[in-house]
Amino acid sequence: MIKIDSLDHYGRGITKIDNKITFVENALPEEIIEVKIDKEKSKYIEGSVLKYIEKSKQRVNVDCPYYNSCGGCNIMHLSYQDQLKFKQEKIENIINKYLKEDIKINNIVSCDLNKNYRNKVTFQVKENIGFYKNNTYEIINIDSCLISDNLINKSISYLKKLNLKDINKITCRTVSNKLMVIIETKNNNLDITPLTEIADSIYFKIDNKYIHKYGDKYIYENLDNYKFKISPDSFFQVNINTCLKLYNKIKEYVGKNKNIIDLYCGTGSIGIFVNENNNVIGIEINEQASKDAIENKQINNLNNINFICGDSGKKLKELYFKPDIIIVDPPRSGLNKETIDNILKFNPKEIIYVSCDPMTLVRDLNILKDNYNIEEITPFDMFPNTYHVECLVYLKKYM
């Protein structure tokens, strides 16, 4: 029997076995448990719960029948308010440890819908359809997913009617009650008849090429007064509820009558959302996403925003445009050195940084803080029931 002391940044319980730090999935502070050792390294142990002797008051019953084996959700056994507390403390701990400065961290912005919020899901397929079992390539056959959009869940029974032996993956995207399905296959003649009863758009992905097979070529999402085209491979936030809250906070920082550069702009959603009474240039490396951004500009009848396809770091130095603000929303890997160097050369008055990984965020902030004051950081719960946290950082040039 051992007692769990705290949680790590991945939501695992932390304890010690034979003076060696031990991480235990699905274990909460103050719980007394029997542990099964799954993996032992020179500096740590990874384990799982054999039996709960005493359970935490924070623990809630999980409705998902796949929770103990699926690797998708990590902290569904915490009440939603305790999930928010865990994420708030996680960000505070990381910021305080790695930046070592008195930085204002706002309260985490919650999600109004902590289940059925995901509008994009990729299913693994190998005779069955589902998700990988935690830390394996074994597929758990599922009938529904508690964090996936209801329409995606409804589609699973139709997907199972396909010849799954010819399919590697299936991605489902939903917006405004429309369903797009992308089937990764080698069989260009795969029968999709069962799926036409529920899908509005169907694509095959063969050798990394998208082939339109049925219905609408695109689906469209609305954010406030703006409309956005969604292609099979274009990036769009998976949680529209929290996304809207995030974008409104960015809009508050931006204000009006500003020149703005929007790096890693995807389909142009942030730049378009904050374009009113501003001039915006967006840069995106993904060719299809960049084309979608240009079309989104046209759909929304905008003439004060332009998009460039290319690497953010390289294209930035080619611009003859003096920005007041640079917005960055990089991938999990954060900003590379070239991008940071070119941002600093432009010397904008303000930087707005959207991050999905707090560790790469603090790495980049440690460089930017020599020239910019970190005014405040706001965590957003973009991914309820998982350990992931989105952060919005507002930086101002030192006077």
Q: Which helix (H) or strand (E) holds 38?
A: strand 32-40
Is 356 an annotated catalytic residue? yes
Element (DSSP H or E) covering residue 353: strand 350-355
Long-range contacts of 222-228 (CB under 8 A, 24+ apart): 222/176, 223/247, 223/269, 223/273, 224/273, 226/269, 226/272, 226/273, 226/296, 226/300, 227/296, 227/299, 227/300, 228/267, 228/268, 228/269, 228/272, 228/292, 228/296, 228/299
Alpha helix (H) residue ranges in the chain: 80-98, 150-159, 240-254, 269-273, 287-299, 312-316, 337-346, 358-368
Alpha-carbon distances, residue 213 vs 124, 128, 193, 287, 336 (angstroms): 21, 23, 11, 21, 38
17 forms beta bridges with: 20
Q: Which residues of 197-235 are buried (b: 16+ CB within 10 A; e: fewer)?
A: eebbbbbbbeeeeeeebebeebbebebeebebbbbbbbb
Q: Which of 145, 172, 356, 391 is labelled catalytic?
A: 356
- The torsion angles phi and psi of 54, rounded to 5 degrees, stand at -135, 130
Active-site residues, by number, are 356
